[in-house]
Amino acid sequence: MGRAFVGILVLSVAVFSNSAFAQVSGTSNALPAIAKQARPKQVPLFSRDLEIEFALNALPKQLRENATVLVLEPTGWTKAKEGTNAFTCLVTRQAGDVVPICWDREGAKSVMSVAMDDSTMRLKGMTDSEVNQQIAEGFKTGRYRAPSRAGVSYMLSPMRYKIDAQGKITPTPPLPHVMFYAPNLTDEDVGGGRGMPIFINNVSPQGMIIDPVGEKEKAAILEESAGLTQRVEQELGYHP
């Protein structure tokens, strides 16, 4: 599954933020007005069982059974499955980017809260600029922080959908990959770039080294995920 990167040194940029887990205690966090409002088109909701399966699709098969899963409901995030291993999975909706991600313990204690808060802010009716401002301010004040040690997140699912403000759904080409925390690093720092074996997804405290899987692994993932893809797209209302 690509190359193994170890020993990536990262620096903590702020005090520990537990906002992600403060939202989740086995029941939905309280956002009572949201359910009565028109839900933003960029924040789709799924049936609970489907969202659990969709979220776990980001992980290697052998890690799925014992992973924790969070799902998004009209009232906010809730813990749908309590796990025992190092990974926490959810389907993000950041800026209408619908994709499952699974973080290790360090990622779950740091950057995962950004993905969660992005969705809940949009459910409250906040605009792109307002959400981006809140996130940027959160990194400045220490509400959010970069990972403080080397670690890994998985995005092995072939499914990823971009939804614009009008609700138009555009699937992105499948790119199953593993991510290694690399806050504020650039492609130049790691000798990467688009079309190279590795690359940096964005230069920010949430930056990651992207390590795509090989073509043989990708083909196997596409085959294994075909049925789930059909069900996800049916609930999204996307018709190829």
Residue 91, pLDDT > 80, answer yes
Give the start-end residues of each E strand in 75-157. 76-81, 88-94, 97-103, 152-155
Q: What is the pTM of this model?
A: 0.83
Q: What are 96-117's pLDDT values in tens digits?
A: 999 999 999 999 999 999 999 9
Tell me the pLDDT of the chain averaged across its residues: 86
* CA dist., res. 12 & res. 62, Å (int): 30
Q: What are 31-56's pLDDT values in tens digits?
A: 444 444 567 889 999 999 999 999 99
* CA dist., res. 230 & res. 238, Å (int): 9
